[in-house]
Amino acid sequence: MKQLLILNETISDIKKASDVFKNIKKINIDYTQENFILICLDTKNNIIKSEIVFKGGLNACVVCPKTLFRKALLNNSNSIIVAHNHPSNDLTPSDEDRKVYDKLKLIGDELTLKVLDNIIFNEKEFYAFSDSE
């Protein structure tokens, strides 16, 4: 798969979902389609790398866990955060959003690579799964 975008700018440690959203806003995203972003973190929750790993259509994006975790492991990530936009601008998580997040958390637990959050965003605001748990 061709690499679509990398943001190598390191920011201070991630303490809350709004810190992640500030980082995402720096990425030039086509908001007319879904973009699935992997954010790799070190042991102090500093961003190692942010990357759009999957692109989808108007209302869906296929996420391959093998590809996602391979990238995280190759970056020596201690933990990860995933994020994706909803082109509809409706930040309500779909059933599929919840299923993907739950599946990624289970796989991450098996690999001792925690999935800390799943952020759904549009150009102006975001929804963080961690705020609702």
Domain of 19, CATH number, reads 3.40.140.10
Work out the angle at residue 46's Cα, subtended by the Cα atoms of residues 19 and 73, and round it to the nearest 5 degrees. Answer: 120
DSSP state of 12: S
Closest listed residue to residue 22, CA positions, set 47, 54, 53, 58: 47
At 68-123, the pLDDT tens digits run 999 999 999 999 999 999 999 999 999 999 999 999 999 999 999 999 999 999 99
Note the pLDDT of residue 12. Answer: 56
Q: Count how many domains the chain has.
A: 1
Q: What are the pLDDT digits (tens) for 18-72? A: 888 988 888 889 999 999 999 999 999 999 999 999 999 988 899 999 999 999 9
Parent domain of 51:
5-132
pTM score, two decimals?
0.87
pLDDT band at 14 (very low <50, low <70, confident <90, very high): confident
